[in-house]
Structure 1
């Protein structure tokens, strides 16, 4: 097959491309330039879009003996990922930019362009497995190394794009195995640190980034009864479950910490309460993407964070809306609108949807939090 290998400049994508070459595929490497303002060097940069990364990707391609290109997708990235990130926070929701990047860039723009150029598949360094059933249906599963599993952020891609994807690292036992393989192959990125946090927020200061885009928007921090406890400089800087940065001068009656229960963008208010009030008993979601037939009610496991645990639940699908009731109320805390809800059956991904509301399971203010 003709395979386009996405080379980020990290060790995972380099080893994935090497394995595709070993499998006998006709492989071409491509690095996606996603930001016009990325840091020139990785020092102080916590993401994966530095110019240094592009150079590391080129050197990996040279070692593998494959053609290498850089595709400028920065305009598309700004329009679909960065703009969505800012708009979601401004609307009081909590987006996951990695999910949106996989949806709009890696498995939409990149894959569509690859197919148009005659490639059969796109190969990436994601940790996830693809299993093929006897009837030819492809299933997305968790990686063998659960600590590195990335099926959560891949669930948005859908079955059609999964059919043209390759994840050669899905069966790797540990990240150390990947690094050892890279070193044995003579890849200089074998000891390169992992990228983390949001790639377009190089210094890790998400609030500062949002403030630079949205400006100062002072408002009130209140409790569930509407009593004003403090002030904020922008409700967009807060998310459900957050504790740090509230700067509330008045202590709670019970002396316990307070957390963000909801963000109300219309009134520019942040509502806070106790940890117990964050407990959730059900989640509502829409814009679902399914890898399996989904109708009526069925048991599943629900995961709402990339590195969170999946908890037993039952999902009901009706008129495009997914209602997910937890088998044990309070098994999840602080679920926010905008988060990605991924449903599993064991290791298999059943589908993904975007959280629109969460029903809290306790406290005087329990109800739908939007």
Structure 2
């Protein structure tokens, strides 16, 4: 792809939005077909009996996505197609306190709302009205936490403990590990994921599409980094995440002064990709809340996710896959906190949930 020619033809902002659309399409199709969901993986882990039960098919799908993202992103960096130090998540200070508190809140919220923010977007695209309501509440809360009435509280919690030096910490560099360690770790995770996939008889279609979710993360990183190298104005080097983009997309349709950017293309791309995948596979169907208590729990969960994601610096995708693929220290801490928050909430409030019905 001749990015320079594309920029000269349509402009930098539309190009960024187009790259977001491409990333979102790959993510949406892959996530819908693989049923990738961190919430489902944590519920399965919480309810599982023994190591085999805890590392079940949902965990395998999640590991396939994470490992694929790490392998592709680290491989792209070794080939000179991307530089992790330029990523937006690495170029700004990270918050240890935000990663822990926000991650715990997000983990609890995604259990209550029956899906993380990315999963809610995919489900909403397949006719799930519960996810539409929860997703809108998530986006509004995220915007309130970013620029609205909740922003001072987020800033106060995030400022409790900040990474030194005015930027985030690369775990590989901090541990003085040799070049290529990231790729080796990704391959190790992939080997474990494929072993689990074979053990639980997960078909090739599922694990291929699960890998596609991780591949979409690498696509976003490479495209935005390539655009940043030739753009006249600064372009954020980013990839798939759904906290900031959900808020930004909402404001794009509410504020006539908003401009096109990667985020604004990403969310519609996921919606379109998941919708087309559901229609082609015959899985599109209208669904709603089963009861008022379920609706109330989902709405509370969406609020917790919205605030928690902005405090943690990203959602389950933004931290757990996108940030994890560049080994941002706060992203891995937030991911661990999300697992802890989700498992604890499952054990306390969701004892009777069938892991197969987690999403």
TM-score range, shorter chain: under 0.3
For CA contacts below 8 A with separation 6 or more, give which structure has more relative contact order.
2
Instruction: Looking at secondary structure, tell me which structure has more helix per residue.
Output: 2
TM-score for both structures, normalised by structure 1: 0.23
The structure having more radius of gyration, on CA atoms, is: 1
TM-score for both structures, normalised by structure 2: 0.23
